[in-house]
Amino acid sequence: MSNVKRVSPADGKQYFFGYYDVCPWNKEGTHLLMHGTNAPLDRLPEKRDVAYITLIDAHTLDSKDIAETTAWNWQVGSRLQWIGGSNRVIFNDRRDGKLVARICDTEGKEMQVLDSPFTAVHPVGNYALSVDFSRIQEMRRGYGYDGAEREEGIMRINLASGEKQCIVPFTVLGEGKQWVNFVTFNPNGTRFAFLHRTMREGGRMYERLVTANTDGSDMRILLDTGMASHFAWKNDETIIVWGRRPGIVSRMEKRRRLLKLMVPVYHRIKGKLGAVRRSILQDGYLEIADAPGAPLRDVGRDILTENGHGTVSPDEKWFLTDTYAGKTHERELFLYRLADGYVSEIGKFYSLPDKQYTKNEHWDDSAMRCDLHPRWNRSGTEVCIDSVHEGMRGVYVLDVGDIIRT
């Protein structure tokens, strides 16, 4: 196992960063961002629960709280992140009961309040994208925010003026119970990708991977087989996604011909080990070019057998991913070399804060759980994770420099 260092304070609070698609380090690599809260681990956060925006010195590990928010959850936090290459920080919050986005500096001085929450910031930092957090909360409670206003679709927010416009309306995407989440820009900010989800009969979620220009034009459906889960841009033209290859099940699902008597079988297969699920459902990591009709290429087909939160190193050579917890309540962390398939397990972390949580067999699957959500630093030499293996939520850094150099 690589060297694992706890970088969050040991002051009794629960610390975490949030989702895996954002880098917690600033441009210079001198400081990290994270959330700290006194909220209990065994329930979803409520509107009254405060999460502090904490700044950590990457070398001395000195910490200071620069702001606070009541718009957060255990999975994506407040969408806390740095704006472009600056030392400005943006996160979601509430003002007078309304969801907003706040921008402050590293001393906590408030610089701007936007009249809308956000989910992704353009790499240059001149605008952000937002989604309908109320739909997300309705369909997957614990992943959105209570009290969010309804939106028409994917919204684009000018960070200078606060002006907001809808660039991908739901009416264009489909009908019925639908929502969009996990929106992220490619490295140069020329296009963005998102997951379009609809809820079907029997509680089956149908997922599509879609990309578009930054104004919403030239929309492309890259994967339309019913399964498109966590994904990451490898570069400006390519995405790696945990998804489903076209097959019998995907064709039946797409045509809404998955018979009711097959639904329980389908759900049982989804919960099986990777080899069983892959052979029947054809699920696995896939590399897809951002182009109409692009072919699918397997990534780690017989090695990376479980869905996880994958990202590509800055030099595009390594794929970093984790796993969900199994029967032993452990989450594993892997580095996979894209050129030749070499894989290194760099960590294994107990997924429950305390053994008492084993009494609740669903905690590992709930929105209260603590996924590792691994994230690269900007030079590709360190990895940051959230974990509860020491009995509380904490943020940890693993040095992977020796592995990637050899």
Q: For the segment 38-59, what is each residue's pLDDT rounded down to a tens digit?
A: 999 989 999 999 999 999 999 9
Query: Counting every residue, how long is the chain?
Result: 406
Please state, for a pLDDT cut of 90, what percent of the chain lies above it: 82
Q: Using only C-alpha atoms, what is the Rg of the chain?
A: 20
Q: Which residues of the chain have pLDDT under 50?
A: 1, 259, 261, 266-267, 272
From residue 113, alpha-carbon distances to 24, 50, 104, 345 in Å are 21, 18, 9, 43
DSSP 92-137: EEEETTEEEEEEE-TT--EEEEESS--SEE-TTSSEEEE--HHHHH
- Which residues, 6 or more positions from 232, have their beta carbon under 8 angstroms from its beta carbon? 21, 184, 239, 240, 241, 310, 311, 312
